[in-house]
Amino acid sequence: MIEIFSPGRVNIIGEHTDHQGGLVLPGCIQYGIRFQGNQTDNGLIKVISHDMADEFTFDPQNMKKQNNWVDYIQGAVFYFTKETGIVPSFKISLKSNLQIASGLSSSAALEVGIIKFLDILYRTKLAAKKIASLARLAENNYVGVKCGIMDQSIIARSLNDTAYLLDCTTLEMEEVRLPSDLVFLLVDTKIRRSLTSSKFNERLEELDLIKQELEKLNLTLQGLQMLPPEDREPIFTQLKEFYPIETKRLIHVITENDRVDQYKQLIAESNYKAAGKQLIASHRSLQHQFDASWSRADEIIQWVEGHINIVHGGRMVGAGWGGNVLVQTLKSDEQKVINELKEIDWIEQDMITVLSIRKGVELLE
């Protein structure tokens, strides 16, 4: 019997930059999916989900999309087979304490976990980078969500209990040690979303269009990023005249990359309040430039801005349109912040979690 734990992740800052080759600052969290399984010899794959009280059996050589959670597993199996030439046969059970469709990357945890399980089961010794790449292909091409590489990379490649600065173009990862007196709270707004039915792919289409217009100006997104802000403004003004919505999306991506850099530097300087302001700026950009927020998330950030004496900042996490909100504070103020957050009439104790940062997917002994 092989047992795997594949965690979810929280992205501290850097939202909707990963699919554009930008910068992100994620870390794996204590919640995730536990896989238990073994090889079988009947040529079939049987998956049992304890949380959904559901099970499904399929032929890996004759898969059909189910338009539900099974597609993530089938996609992972498909790309593992395409990479290795191995047609797997196994039985596996899943047990999760990770919220679904909440901005904590349950889909990547599922995909990475299955591929890691198969890698160990068949001793294929796939590199962590390859596991991340195959998991992303499963989500992009089989499930149909055109996500970036962030979620899969951090879950497959995180080796230590730390956050990582990930460059989604080069895939270089740099450890970013978070101070021990810093605390991140996660507030579940209880609003769920599905990326395949949300505006996620629509945003990518808008960004593709505006990047084509940039090319007509002999500029790439990365080239624009390198310009100082004062040199970007005339370009934004020119683009806005004909593409106002698409330019808003572009402005978010460019300025969000700036915020990741600034946040990392401010944390290193122990300037937590200034770092927290970068989180708020990230949320406001996601709200107004990327149109990815939702009313409960905005309400929490408004509360954060009114309690800046005990909280540094906060923002929505995940792709948007539902899920969780991240709040940054000091360990010494943790309980006070939790108590005062509950003053918002719809927030209850079980909706607030103190996050722990941990390493990525692993074999359990």
Catalytic residues: 151
Nearest to 109 by CA among 185, 117, 127: 117
- Quick one: angle between helices 128-137 and 70-84, nearest 10? 130
Q: Please tell me the distance from the alpha carbon of residue 214 to that of residue 202, in angstroms, as a whole number.
A: 19
Which amino acid, residue 7?
P
Q: Please tell me the distance from the alpha carbon of residue 338 to that of residue 111, in angstroms, as a whole number.
A: 33
Q: Please tell me the distance from the alpha carbon of residue 76 to that of residue 62, in angstroms, as a whole number.
A: 14
Longest CA pairwise span in the chain (Å): 64
Q: Calculate the alpha carbon distances from 264 to 38, 106, 227, 360 in Å.
A: 42, 26, 20, 21
Q: Please tell me the distance from the alpha carbon of residue 70 to that of residue 58, in angstroms, as a whole number.
A: 10
Q: What are the φ/ψ torsions at residue 70 (nearest 5 degrees)?
A: -65, -30
Q: DSSP string spanning 143-189?
A: I-----SHHHHHHHH--SSSEEEEETTT--EEEEPPPTTEEEEEEEE
Q: Please tell me the distance from the alpha carbon of residue 276 to that of residue 236, in angstroms, as a whole number.
A: 27
| DSSP state letter for 332 | G
3-state secondary structure of 261: helix
DSSP-H helix ranges across 217-330: 221-226, 229-242, 244-268, 272-288, 295-306
Q: Please tell me the distance from the alpha carbon of residue 91 to that of residue 69, in angstroms, as a whole number.
A: 16
Q: Which helix (H) or strand (E) holds 38?
A: strand 26-39
Q: Please tell me the distance from the alpha carbon of residue 330 to that of residue 159, in angstroms, as a whole number.
A: 25
